[in-house]
Chains A and B, each alone.
Chain A
Amino acid sequence: EAGVAQSPRYKIIEKRQSVAFWCNPISGHATLYWYQQILGQGPKLLIQFQNNGVVDDSQLPKDRFSAERLKGVDSTLKIQPAKLEDSAVYLCASSPDVKDEQYFGPGTRLTVT
């Protein structure tokens, strides 16, 4: 069974630029999560989808971050414009349903200069 796929694996941008990350969850998984992991900290949930609907986006900085999961499968997370403090690893995870074990992708390491 293929795992959670994320791309790109690494991205370097300048502040005020835009960036997008892509996630392909495990086939059949209804729930998809995006986490932000700042160096030296544990992952923090940004947004949770159930199929193509948002379950929780309470910690998403909505003035600059957006996410979508249009067909209930793949998802993209966008930052526009980026700030220095957005430098982090962005992890995508998926689970069969909201109360099931989460499976994590390898992450995208973003560096904002």
Chain B
Amino acid sequence: AQSVTQLDSQVPVFEEAPVELRCNYSSSVSVYLFWYVQYPNQGLQLLLKYLSGSTLVKGINGFEAEFNKSQTSFHLRKPSVHISDTAEYFCAVSLLQGAQKLVFGQGTRLTINP
């Protein structure tokens, strides 16, 4: 079975500072990797995904993530955050084979302080 661990439940940062949200996964087989964002009272929105190819993946809103197979990590980064980035961020995995069944981490709440 697959599992996802988001190492920080809350991350406070100042506006325009860089941020990294950490995600580690466990799986005996190859997986796809995703980051979703959830703004207050809204559903989840896909930020970016890693399916294959380059290990550095660029997504929407200036976010990027790097897949590290040896460390089974998929950390999310942004060089300069804005107030509007305040949200909950979820890392997820799904198997390469079969239907896309997402397994989510517990989430990281990103708070941007002015």
Interface residues of A (CB under 8 A from B): 4, 31, 40-45, 48, 50, 55-56, 91, 93, 95, 98-102, 104-107
CA distance A42 to B9 in the complex (A): 11
Taking a contact as CB atoms under 8 Å apart, the answer to whether A55 and B99 are in contact is yes
Other-chain residue from A41, A48, A104 in contact with B45 (beta carbon distance below 8 A): A104
- Judged by a CB distance under 8 angstroms, whether B92 is at the interface is yes
Q: Which residues of A contact B36 (CB under 8 A)?
A: 104
Given contacts A98-B100, A99-B99, A102-B102, contact A42 B43 (CB under 8 A): no
Q: How far is the CB of A43 from chain B (nearest CB, A)?
A: 5
Interface residues of B (CB under 8 A from A): 4, 9, 36, 41-46, 49, 90, 92, 98-107
Taking a contact as CB atoms under 8 Å apart, the answer to whether A42 and B100 are in contact is no
Chain B contact residues: over half helix, strand or loop, or mixed? loop
Given contacts A56-B99, A98-B100, A99-B99, contact A105 B90 (CB under 8 A): no
Taking a contact as CB atoms under 8 Å apart, the answer to whether B101 and A42 are in contact is no
14 inter-chain pairs at a CB distance below 8 angstroms, sorted by A residue, are A4-B43, A31-B99, A40-B9, A40-B107, A41-B107, A42-B4, A44-B104, A55-B99, A56-B101, A91-B44, A93-B43, A98-B98, A102-B46, A104-B44
